[in-house]
């Protein structure tokens, strides 16, 4: 059984970790499956329906986003200036050069797997936007590389800042990473910007890192639907997310995708000495 520390952070048992690992593998496979459908002319609602069918009827899992605090769909589709929590719509048609984040979470046997990635629709966009997408991914990898037992959570924000600051990109502060396992959101809160939270990581902790990086100012606003977060200055935003497990000497990237392993920029097991 898991144990909960005084600060609310859960330390998961090996048996529970194996169940979380299964959920994460399915979440990663679902994102991989979605790759083929992101193209000009498709609507974000079509993407939602495809993902929902794959999760429910093929993978036999529960889409965690659906009806979560009233969220109406199975995935979040955040296009261009949308930071996160974009609601799929039959009116939103993807165009060449758009960028879109697909964020999805599955529940398998009571345990959660959560991940997201960026797509450049049609494969090409302007240089500033491509730099934004690339820097956001590299900032996630840089943050993963600092994770190990004894590392402090504020090292995550420092690592992300070092990657994005040279581009004059900004880090969203309103939305953060989180603990996850037998609940969708739990302690710890994982801040993506420089901060003073010096709590140390411990073996058995499971959490997400999901930097949201803006091309302009970091400030956001929420649309009238109560969900969709957009940049105040209407400039583009990008996000990548992985779910992580702290292990002896480093971290396990529980939602790693095949393309990432082939590229060799990160691996499932990262020993961060």
For the stretch 118-175, pLDDT in tens is 999 999 999 999 999 999 999 999 999 999 999 999 999 999 999 999 999 999 999 9
- 199-226 confidence digits (pLDDT tens): 999 999 999 999 999 999 999 999 999 9
Percent share of the chain, pLDDT over 90: 99
**Does the annotation list 192 as a binding residue?**
no
SS3 for the chain is: CCEECCCCCEECCHHHHHHHHHHHHHHHHHHHHHHHHCCCCCEHHHHHHHHHHHHHHHCCCEECCCCHHHCCCCCEEEECCEEECCCCCCCCECCCCCEEEEEEEEEECCEEEEEEEEEEHHHCCCHHHHHHHHHHHHHHHHHHCCCCCCCECHHHHHHHHHHHHHHCCEECCCCCEEECCCCCCEEEEECCCCCCCCCECCCCCEEEECCEEECCCCCEEECCCCCCEEECCCCCEEECEEEEEEECCEEEECCCCHHHHHHCCCCCEEECC
Report the CATH number at residue 175: 3.90.230.10
How high is the pLDDT of residue 121?
99
**Does the annotation list 103 as a binding residue?**
yes
**Does the annotation list 183 as a binding residue?**
no
- 82-106 confidence digits (pLDDT tens): 999 999 999 999 999 999 999 999 9
**Does the annotation list 178 as a binding residue?**
yes
How high is the pLDDT of residue 175?
99
- 221-244 confidence digits (pLDDT tens): 999 999 999 999 999 999 999 999
When divided into structural domains, the chain yields a total of 1
Q: Give residue 2's pLDDT band: very low, low, confident or very high (50, 70, 90).
A: confident
**Does the annotation list 69 as a binding residue?**
no
Q: Give residue 184's pLDDT band: very low, low, confident or very high (50, 70, 90).
A: very high
**Does the annotation list 161 as a binding residue?**
no
Question: 8 lies in which domain range?
Answer: 3-271
**Does the annotation list 85 as a binding residue?**
yes
């Amino acid at each position: 059984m898991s144990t909960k520390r005084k600060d609310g952070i859960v330390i998961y048992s090996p048996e529970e970790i194996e169940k979380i690992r299964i959920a994460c593998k399915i979440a990663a496979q679902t994102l991989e499956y979605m790759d083929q459908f992101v193209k000009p002319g498709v609507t974000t609602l079509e993407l939602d329906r495809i993902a929902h069918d794959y999760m429910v009827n093929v993978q036999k899992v529960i889409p965690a986003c659906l009806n979560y605090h009233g969220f109406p769909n199975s995935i979040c589709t955040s296009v261009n200036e949308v930071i996160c929590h974009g609601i799929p719509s039959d009116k939103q048609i993807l165009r060449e050069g758009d960028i879109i984040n697909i964020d999805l979470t599955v529940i398998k046997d009571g345990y959660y797997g959560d991940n997201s990635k960026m797509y450049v629709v049609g494969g090409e966009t302007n240089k500033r936007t491509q730099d934004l997408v690339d820097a956001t991914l590299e900032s996630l990898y840089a943050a993963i590389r600092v994770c190990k037992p004894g590392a402090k959570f504020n090292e995550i924000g420092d690592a992300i800042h070092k990657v994005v600051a040279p581009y004059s990109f900004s880090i969203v502060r309103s939305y953060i990473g989180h603990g996850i396992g037998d609940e969708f959101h739990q302690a710890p809160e994982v801040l993506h910007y420089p901060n003073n939270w010096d709590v140390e990581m411990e073996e058995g902790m499971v959490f997400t890192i999901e930097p949201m990086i803006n091309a302009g100012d970091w400030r956001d606003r929420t649309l009238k639907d109560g969900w969709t977060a957009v940049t105040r200055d209407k400039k583009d935003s990008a996000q990548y997310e992985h779910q992580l497990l702290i292990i002896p000497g480093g971290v396990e990237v529980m939602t790693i995708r095949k393309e990432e392993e082939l590229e060799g920029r990160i691996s499932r097991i990262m020993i961060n000495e």
